[in-house]
Amino acid sequence: MLIIGIGGGTGCGKTTVVNQIINELPNEEVGVISQDSYYNDLSHLSFDERSKINFDHPRAIDFELLAKHLNILKRGEPIDQPVYSFPKHNRTKDTIRTHPRKVMIIEGILIMTNPLIREMFDIKIYVHADSDERLIRRLKRDINERGRDLSEVLSRYQTTLKPMHDQFIEPTKEYADIIIPNNKYNTVAVDIVRTIINEKLS
């Protein structure tokens, strides 16, 4: 199994890069796991308490469970991946049955901050985008898809997102094997990654 980690700041375009990579690969050979599925279970807290949590700090992620799941997949066994609800700031009771694939892509802003997870990646990719561009994308996504309002998104960006990006996410660029600038469609970098994957698959 080839495990690829794709990191980068919020709104940098990780999902776009993931889609570009898997676009021309056989469906049955590639699986994707999002870090967002592995936010800690906060069922013991009230909604108000959960909404005050800093979800952009590495402590917000259940890396232990993610590592356990990756090891199970590497053994060739399926996992029950958690499902996270952004409006509720918590995991739901649902899970997604996820089967091992020849290539597993793990994507998320904090995935390269954890040494244990980082060591499990065969290829580490950092997607870089201009901070203004990332803020615009984050605004659009949180308002349209996650039911947040403008002042809430801007407040979160200023108080947690930007400081956490500068402290934890940007420094993980040094661990990357490949840095993809994603201000435009970057065909060359994506083609290189796709070539590496195809070589591993053949």
Mean model confidence pLDDT for the chain: 89
Tens-digit pLDDT profile for residues 164-199: 989 999 999 999 999 988 756 667 888 888 888 888
2 pairs with which residues across the strands?
Answer: 103
Domain range 2-187, CATH class? alpha beta
User: What confidence score (pLDDT) does residue 140 get?
Assistant: 84
Contact (CB, 8 A) for 77 and 100: yes
Domain boundaries of the chain, sorted by first residue: 2-187
> DSSP strand E in the chain: where?
2-7, 30-34, 79-85, 90-98, 103-107, 123-128, 178-181
**Rounded to an integer, what distance in angstroms lies between the CA atom of residue 93 and that of residue 81?**
11
pTM: 0.87
User: What confidence score (pLDDT) does residue 159 get?
Assistant: 83
Tens-digit pLDDT profile for residues 6-60: 999 887 888 888 888 888 788 788 999 999 999 999 999 999 999 888 888 999 9
pLDDT > 70: percent of the chain: 98
